[in-house]
């Protein structure tokens, strides 16, 4: 069904038209807790609420949506204690520390404090209410 991966992608593939990720959907277990977290703790701007099961936030040119699977996915929910994804949010180097302070002030447990990594990033890791791994980072 799939071609063996080669270093030369198929130049005729219609998928070569893809140039960006337009939106990311997080399938949620607890919509109320996730909404409070993304709006109140991370202070994301509500873009629109299409229904109680689909809420969108604007992040620059991208959209982050919280959704309960229904229309297209019938997957079983991710087990409690398991992350479904990791999101990395880029900020300035000074803002990594300010974000860490605000998370602690809001009662969010840090998985790791702001740390300068050998690959040139200053990182901070924590989880959202559904257990997804979130990262605030800056290039240093």
Q: CA-to-CA distance for 120 and 71, rounded, in angstroms?
A: 41
- Count CA atoms closer than 13 A to 74's CA, side-chain side: 0
CA distance 28 to 114: 27
* CA dist list (Å): 11 to 16, 20, 46, 93: 7, 18, 39, 39
| pLDDT score at 1 | 52
pLDDT in tens, the chain (140 residues): 555 555 566 778 888 888 888 899 998 989 999 999 999 999 999 999 999 999 999 998 999 999 987 766 677 767 777 777 899 999 999 999 999 999 999 999 999 999 999 999 999 999 999 999 999 999 99
Closest CA to 99 of 135, 133, 57: 135
Annotated domain spans of the chain: 22-68, 85-140
CATH number for the region 85-140 comes to 3.10.180.10
Give the per-residue pLDDT at 82: 76
The pTM for the full model equals: 0.81
With respect to CATH, is domain 22-68 assigned 3.30.70.100? no
């Amino acid at each position: 069904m799939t071609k063996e991966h080669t270093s030369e992608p198929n130049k005729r593939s219609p998928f070569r038209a893809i140039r960006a990720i337009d939106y990311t959907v997080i399938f949620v277990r607890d919509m109320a807790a996730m909404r409070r977290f993304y709006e109140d703790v991370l202070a994301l701007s509500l873009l629109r609420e299409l229904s109680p099961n689909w809420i969108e936030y604007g992040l620059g040119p991208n959209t982050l949506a919280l959704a309960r699977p229904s229309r297209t996915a019938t997957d079983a929910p991710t087990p409690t204690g398991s992350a479904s994804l990791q999101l990395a949010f880029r900020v300035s180097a000074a803002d990594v520390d300010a974000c860490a302070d605000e998370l602690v002030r809001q009662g969010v447990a840090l998985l790791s404090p702001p740390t300068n990594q050998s690959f040139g990033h200053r990182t901070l890791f924590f989880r959202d209410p559904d257990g997804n791994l979130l990262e605030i980072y800056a290039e240093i």
